[in-house]
Amino acid sequence: MERVPVLVVGGGYAGLSAAALLAWREVPVTLVERRPSTSVQPKAFGIGPRAIELLRPLPGIEDELAGIWAGIGDGMRIAIARDLADPEPHLISDGGQAEYAALAELTPAAPVGAPQADVERVLRVKAEELGADLRFSTELVSLEQDDDGVTALVRGKDGDRVIRADYVVAADGHHSELRTALGVPTSGHGTLSRMCSIMFDADLSELVREREVTLWYVRNDTLTGALVTGAGAGAHVLGVHQAADEGPFTAERCVELVRAATGRPGLDVRILDRATFGIAHVLAGSYRAGRVFLAGDAAHTMPPTGGQGGSTALQDGADLAWRLWLVLTGQAGPAFLDTYDAERRPVGTLTADAQLAELGARMPPAARIGYPERLPDPLHALLGHRYHSTAILDEPGDDGSILEDPRLAGGKPGSRAPHIVLDWDGQRLSTIDLFGSGFVLMAAKRGSQAWMEAGRQVKERLGVRLTRLPMDDELLDVEGRFEERYGVSGGGAVLVRPDGYVAWRSPGPVTDPAATLEHVLRQILSRPA
């Protein structure tokens, strides 16, 4: 029998991000994936800034991702048209240039225009370099759990093996067999339609030159679908709605559809790959079942419209990695893991509902049922999610909202820690660069020494990884915005979690900083006195 702290089932976005970030934290992890490799189809396009912030600790990954498909790195211009040759397409997104300018004020992590297939390959390499045990062409056969762990039977090319794990990450997709086997209930609108994704090679230079549109929602008498174009000549992807009574798409049919979508009946087309998948809206009723945690599509399957499904899955995996690390290293109590469901499930539901609304607007004839009338502000949806759980110490008067304007968050507990520019020994960096490897205690310049000493004492007493950072002449607040952005004054302090979220703050000085900080950390980490 093999033994490992964490077993990950599924090698997509959620599974790979969990495995890579667990390995980076030196937690032994085994991942099993029934497919022979990572994705061939591009699938999801683009990664939002919040997911990039969480992946940044992986050495070199930000630069590698930024270099993929640089043609859409500055944002995806989106249009609705009869076909690619339509002389008057309706532009519904200008690439978000104003949005990106606003983002630059809030985070050093720029969103990247990368297809999922390429991102998965990068994550796989990173995870393996860091020591994760990734086993492709290996499927989970059965799983049993008890009070002390989980026993899994897996089947690969070399036969059956039994793996004993402390915890399992169920990242096995929309039709999650683990979710079903564990009896986790689901809600939502289920499968809304089916789509065939067609990868093809063709020269579209004449059609896309100077139009600068990357994603086209195509509606004509032949098809309803979406077309993602590359830089002109080369590979492109067409997704076509498939009628319920329509059989498999042959190569000839795929060529016909590509020509109809491009508006070029005589276009020279070479089909590279095709796959059929369901567009669905399915929400797990719980993200935890004993020692098993649902992530990615197993937790929240959402329509692709809106482009946040992939980023949400990456965030799930990253979120589980730091929580499991805290518990497995004894820094947090086992009950701390309940905070994953409490915090991530509202975000998953909100995001899935927003993408469902986008589906109705962009890709009819998808079923028009239950679409929200108002969509979240894009900036709020990207960086404004708020968490509420026992791992956050809310302040009096908190309204319990789960979405806010990140420009106005002001360092409230449950909100993402604000970005400000710092100078550390002549090097410019962001507060975001400080987070990831453990808790961070930041204190306002006046009165910071009391908090720094308190942090030293509590760190040793509780065995918690805690970095102490006074805003002083060594760590200089370049623009003088720390107190304003974090809502503290002289003698105040802020405690930030490994995921870059504010767990607690003291706006001003307290009588006994060490006792206060120990009490706070014990509450947050589910460690009773």
Domain positions in the chain are 2-72+109-187+281-381, 189-280, 385-524
Residue 164 class from Cβ within 10 Å (0-12 exposed, 13-18 middle, 19+ buried)? middle
Answer whether residue 169 shows pLDDT above 90.
yes
pLDDT of 71 reads 45
Mean pLDDT of the region 389-407: 92
Lowest mean pLDDT among 77-91, 372-386, 409-423: 372-386
CA 289/CA 184 separation, integer angstroms: 7
Lowest mean pLDDT among 205-209, 278-282, 485-489: 205-209
pLDDT of 399 reads 87
| Percentage of residues of the chain with pLDDT beyond 70 | 92
Averaged pLDDT score across all residues of the chain: 89
Which carries the bigger pLDDT value, residue 418 or residue 223?
418
Give the model confidence (pLDDT) of 200-218 as tens digits.
Answer: 999 988 887 666 677 888 9
CA 76/CA 214 separation, integer angstroms: 6
How many CA atoms lie within 13 Å of 142's alpha carbon, on the beta-carbon side? 6
Mean pLDDT of the region 316-338: 98
pLDDT of 76 reads 64
CA 265/CA 190 separation, integer angstroms: 36
Q: Position 335: which residue type?
A: A
Exposure string for 397-407, b = 16+ CB within 10 A, e = fewer: eeeeeebbebe
pLDDT of 75 reads 56
Mean pLDDT of the region 443-458: 92
* 301 within 8 A of 281, measured Cβ to Cβ: yes
Mean pLDDT of the region 262-289: 92
* Helices within 42-130 (DSSP H only): 49-55, 61-66, 97-104, 116-129
Angle between helices 338-362 and 309-328 (to 10 degrees): 180
Q: Extract the tokens encoding 136.
A: 């492709």
Which carries the bigger pLDDT value, residue 444 or residue 465?
465
| Percentage of residues of the chain with pLDDT beyond 90 | 63
Give the model confidence (pLDDT) of 500-521 as tens digits.
Answer: 999 999 999 999 999 999 999 9
Answer whether residue 306 shows pLDDT above 70.
yes
Lowest mean pLDDT among 5-9, 246-250, 352-356, 389-393: 246-250
CA 358/CA 336 separation, integer angstroms: 35
Answer whether residue 377 shows pLDDT above 90.
no
CA 267/CA 394 separation, integer angstroms: 60
Catalytic positions, written as ranges:
217
Answer whether residue 347 shows pLDDT above 50.
yes
Class (C level, CATH) for 385-524: alpha beta
Answer whether residue 356 shows pLDDT above 90.
no
**CA distances in angstroms from 416 to 74, 131, 337, 377, 486, listed in the order given:** 24, 30, 20, 17, 10
Mean pLDDT of the region 495-499: 98
Backbone angles phi, psi at 458, to 5 degrees: -70, -35
Paired sense of beta strands 77-81 and 90-94, if any: antiparallel
Mean pLDDT of the region 272-290: 91
Class (C level, CATH) for 189-280: alpha beta
What is the CATH number that goes with domain 2-72+109-187+281-381?
3.50.50.60
* 13 within 8 A of 118, measured Cβ to Cβ: no
pLDDT of 51 reads 96
* 162 within 8 A of 182, measured Cβ to Cβ: no
CA 309/CA 105 separation, integer angstroms: 24
**What's the CA angle centered on 475, arms 21 and 491, to 5 degrees?**
100
Q: Extract the tokens encoding 398.
A: 């908190």
Running DSSP on this structure, what letter comes out for residue 375? Answer: P
* 7 within 8 A of 163, measured Cβ to Cβ: yes
- Smallest Cα–Cα separation from 278: which of 242, 224, 225? 242
pLDDT class for 365, splitting at 50, 70, 90? low
pLDDT of 87 reads 85
Identical fold, 189-280 and 385-524: no
pLDDT class for 73, splitting at 50, 70, 90? very low
